[in-house]
């Protein structure tokens, strides 16, 4: 079946995850490639990321993307045309309140006990922690898990990327969000593709018919991919878009 849409992770897949300005030359090539394919209609490009809605909205406008986006690893679905953000499947008021209690605890204890770990502001239904020394993120996991055991509505999963620890509501993922978006668009699984680089992207594997990754992807993601680009990050994303359009 022809691939109609390609949904992409952002950090490590479209752009580098490091906290530094993007290299404009490859990013401008990516923007032109995405805009060209979104005009031609095959495949149209969308975003499926852990980033919050305001960040995603700005990136969609920059890249010329109008397909509904998956934000916060499936917790938020955002439609640029309608300027509407909705909670994804599995996000309930009770779970939001419990997540808010975990957020309050982390804001209270991180500065004194884990000063090198930074709470990432701006998210609604997912929490993320950043550390320039990512191995240090392991130290805070026991604190998070112990707190979750005290809250009946706080059933969570923890997933690391290169520099972040993402705290997700169990069952809320890129895969669940992507299924909801594809259903909204009326696009069957077999006509959808995904581009990702880290273990958190594997939840999208069964939501699409074609799974791809750049050369810098983790070993487990590379093993699950139908196509591994020989190029990393931005160059890999451009290569994957061209590869899908030429199939």
Can you tell me the mean pLDDT for 31-45? 93
Element (H, E) at 109: helix 93-113
Kindly state the percentage of the chain with pLDDT values over 70. Answer: 100
Residue 64: its pLDDT value, please?
96
Residue 19 has pLDDT above 90, yes or no: no
Q: Tokens 């320039």 label which residue?
A: 132
pLDDT per residue over 191-200, tens digit each? 999 999 999 9
Residue 42 has pLDDT above 90, yes or no: no
Residue 247: its pLDDT value, please?
74
pLDDT per residue over 51-109, tens digit each? 999 999 999 999 999 999 999 999 999 999 999 999 999 999 999 999 999 999 999 99
Q: Are strands 192-195 and 5-8 parallel, antiparallel or unpaired?
A: parallel
pLDDT per residue over 169-193, tens digit each? 999 999 999 999 999 999 999 999 9
Strand, coil or helix: what is 57? helix
Contact present, 105 and 147 (Cβ < 8 Å) = yes
pLDDT band with cut points at 50, 70 and 90 for residue 246: confident
Residue 40 has pLDDT above 90, yes or no: no
Contact present, 205 and 225 (Cβ < 8 Å) = no
Q: In terms of pTM, does the model score above 0.75?
A: yes
Nearest to 137 by CA among 108, 121, 157, 117: 117
Q: Among the residues of 114-214, which ranges form H helices? A: 141-148, 174-185
Residue 161: its pLDDT value, please?
86
Nearest to 201 by CA among 19, 45, 49: 49
What rounded mean pLDDT belongs to the chain?
A: 96
Instruction: Please provide residue 213's backbone torsions phi and psi, each rounded to the nearest 5 degrees.
Output: -155, 155
Structure tokens at 63: 């890249």
Diameter of the chain by CA atoms?
54
Q: Tokens 């069952």 label which residue?
A: 171
């Amino acid at each position: 079946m022809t691939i109609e849409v390609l949904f992409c992770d952002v950090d490590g897949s479209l752009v580098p995850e490091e906290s530094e300005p993007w290299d404009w030359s490859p990013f401008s090539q990516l923007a032109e490639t995405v805009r060209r394919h979104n005009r031609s209609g095959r495949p149209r490009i969308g975003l499926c990321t852990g980033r919050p809605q305001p960040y995603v909205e700005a990136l969609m406008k920059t890249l010329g993307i109008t397909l509904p986006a998956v934000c916060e690893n499936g917790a938020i679905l955002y439609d640029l045309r309608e300027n509407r953000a909705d909670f994804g499947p599995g996000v309930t008021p009770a779970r939001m309140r419990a997540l808010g209690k975990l957020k309050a605890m982390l804001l209270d204890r991180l500065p004194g006990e884990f000063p090198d770990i930074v709470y990432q502001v701006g998210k609604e239904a997912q929490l993320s922690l950043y550390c320039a020394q990512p191995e240090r993120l392991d130290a805070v996991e026991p604190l998070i898990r112990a707190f979750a055991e005290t809250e009946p509505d706080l059933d969570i999963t923890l997933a690391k990327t290169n520099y972040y620890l993402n705290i997700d509501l169990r069952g809320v993922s890129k895969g669940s969000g992507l299924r909801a978006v594809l259903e909204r668009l009326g696009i069957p699984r077999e006509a959808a593709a995904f581009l990702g680089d880290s273990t958190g992207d594997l939840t999208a594997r069964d939501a699409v018919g074609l799974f791809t990754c750049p050369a810098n992807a983790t070993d487990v993601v590379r093993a699950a991919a139908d196509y591994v680009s020989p190029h990393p990050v931005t160059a890999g994303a451009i290569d994957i878009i061209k590869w899908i359009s030429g199939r």
